[in-house]
Structure 1
Amino acid sequence: MTILYLLCIIASQLTVVFSSAGNVWTYKDSLGPDHWHLDYPHCGGIRQSPIDLQTRDVVVDQAYLSPIIFSGYDRAPKLFYTLENNGHTVQCGLNDKTMEISGGGLRDTYVAEQFHFHWGATDERGSEHSLNGKHFPMEMHIVHYNKRYENFSISVDKSDGLAVLGFFFEIGRFNKHVQEIIDHFVEIQYKNENITINSIPLNDLMPARLTNYFRYIGSLTTPPCYESVTWTIFNETIEIAEEQLVQFRTTIFENDKSDGGLPMDITDDYRPVQCMFRRRLYASHPSLKYNMEAGKTINSGASYVLSRLVFTYFVCVWSFVT
């Protein structure tokens, strides 16, 4: 049993006397991720997300993890999307329930509900998941609920209730499809502002190659952190221009317009990576187990992960001895 595994067990079993107030949560300070479990017990579970995708540890299963079948992703739905600033992220409600995924090791068919983003204040961080210790500047999640259940609300806490597709962003070419979302930021700058926008095919937002991916069982990455998610993280990244990413960092605020205070940018809206415990990480192709490109890209993002691990170590040790 490794030291890291022991530390994970200690961290998950910690009990505290004091609780944060109400059911309010943030990404920083006394209401940040380190305290979520006080109000949301599931956040202290042993199947939490996100995680660091360690390619050396993956189990390759090409037969089980066949290509995912995307239905309706190649066309724009008839209904408008609902774009909103919920104080934690930019989220787009799809409204139309005709976009589905199946196959790819999924036991059921899942209906697309919404997509949203997580981003950082610098290019070295922002994604929730990391790859061999490397974080990306942004990550997009497309959230689906199990079609066997009536809707998202009923599915959200079921063990097989949700399937989320995760995509990493890298700085590169101007992304005209993401720009269709960014163009509306001025209308949803503050918390709880929302508008309707023209629908676009989800295929336009995703990479061209979708056969190489990682798979594991985890949770929502925000409270209440239900452990109900089958995660699929794709290896191929999405390009976005630096100036587009700046729009995420500077024009979307976490506070309400009526607060009267200075606007507070939503940046670093991501949860730190969680312990794997005894879970397995699967891959759809052998190349993902020995991804040399991933090894070359470990840079300052890795140092940030290391600092988080050191911090967690001292918190766990201090709590254990006291």
Structure 2
Amino acid sequence: MRCLLSACLLPLILHSCTGADWCYQTQVSCDSHCKGPDQWSKVNADCGKNRQSPINIVTKKTKLDERLTPFKFTGYQSIFDSTMKNNGHSVQVSIPITATVSGGNLEETYKAVQFHLHWGTDGGPGSEHTIDGEQYPMELHIVHMKQRYNRLEDALKDPSGVAVLGFFYEESSTSNRKYDLFTHGLRSIQNTNGNTTLRKVSLNQLIPPESNMTNYYRYDGSLTTPGCTEAVVWTVFENPIPLDGEQLRAFSTLKFHDGKPMAGTFRPVQPRNGRVVYRSSSAAIAASTVLILASIGAAFGLSRPN
């Protein structure tokens, strides 16, 4: 009788632990009634397709592409005020000015729409993309769409309609003063749908100098949250942005809609499924320079004294 009762109750229990809403793995529980990343394809079928993001970038398997030249940014230096919002899954900032990116073998000019971040728990591993299996504490996504589109919904119908620039963060021993207004603003958006005005910010102040943005990777992928639409040209930059431990931990003070700490807001890496990841020529040149110097050193017998 006990076994029979268990057999009857199990489907009910499983049903009570699932629901139509998606969530991150840190939110999954019977009480949450949501589907974690491994079940996102049940929320939206596109999440189970073959060109999904993020991925683990294996550097030795990347392919040099001489067409991946430096980008041209316009409007990135412009100062603007905008709304900073806790959307229940991340912190998101709309971009109310005209800021565009071109070059870098992008087929058209793309205009910036919004940016948001993904992070771990209290400054721990939390980036979406990984490099040779290494997960950084946090990752910034600046979302662009082709300039000829007026709505992101329309751009997402184009297989290359969206271009996302991805930047890693690393923990540093000193505070990044350029992020002071941003991290202070987090205090005003602790709860879901909380919003505040982020004043006097520019995209340039949030990312590395252009001279440090010539090393990057490129591949075709998707949005990293449902509906996981496969319409994204991904650019993932090598050089990380420094934040100190306190600044990184500030993001975990936000709360999901259920009041739990907003932590672990990243999708696990997805299968590459034969896709080629390209690297910029600058990245290859930098690597080649190191190899050349090492070879010269070896040839001339330059080594540390015993």
TM-score by length of 2: 0.82
CA apart distance, 1:285: 2.6
| Counterpart residue type for residue 83 of structure 1 | M
CA apart distance, 1:21: 2.6
- Secondary structure of 1:142's aligned partner: strand
Cα distance in structure 2, aligned partners of 1:26 and 1:289: 41
Q: Are 1:247 and 2:245 counterparts?
A: no
- Whether the aligned pair in 2 keeps the contact of 1:110 and 1:145 (CA below 8 Å) is yes
Alignment of 1:239-318 (within 5 A): 239-249=242-252, 251-255=253-257, 263-285=259-281, 287=283
- Give the equivalent residue in structure 1 for 2:48: 44
| Counterpart residue type for residue 69 of structure 1 | K
- Give the equivalent residue in structure 2 for 1:58: 62
- Give the equivalent residue in structure 1 for 2:227: 224
Q: Are 1:233 and 2:236 counterparts?
A: yes
List runs of 5+ in structure 1 lacking aligned partners. Answer: 1-17, 257-262, 293-322
Query: Number of paired residues?
Result: 264
Which is worse superposed, 105-114 or 30-39?
30-39
Distance 1:158 1:199, change over 3 A: farther
Distance 1:58 1:290, change over 3 A: farther
Cα distance in structure 2, aligned partners of 1:182 and 1:94: 18
List runs of 5+ in structure 2 lacking aligned partners. Answer: 1-14, 29-33, 289-306
| Counterpart residue type for residue 74 of structure 1 | Q
Alignment of 1:1-322 (within 5 A): 20-22=18-20, 24-28=21-25, 29=28, 31-62=35-66, 64-77=67-80, 80-96=81-97, 98-121=98-121, 123-172=123-172, 173-208=174-209, 209-249=212-252, 251-255=253-257, 263-285=259-281, 287=283
Cα distance in structure 2, aligned partners of 1:212 and 1:57: 16
Between Structure 1 and Structure 2, which shows a larger proportion of strand residues?
A: 2
Backbone CA RMSD of aligned residues: 2.1
Q: Residue by residue, what CA displacement relative to the aligned partner does 1:6-65 show, whole Å, maximum 9, x if unpaired?
A: xxxxxxxxxxxx89533x110022511000001200000100000001001111112x11
- Whether the aligned pair in 1 keeps the contact of 2:69 and 2:281 (CA below 8 Å) is no
TM-score by length of 1: 0.78
- Whether the aligned pair in 1 keeps the contact of 2:53 and 2:223 (CA below 8 Å) is yes
Q: Percent identity?
A: 40
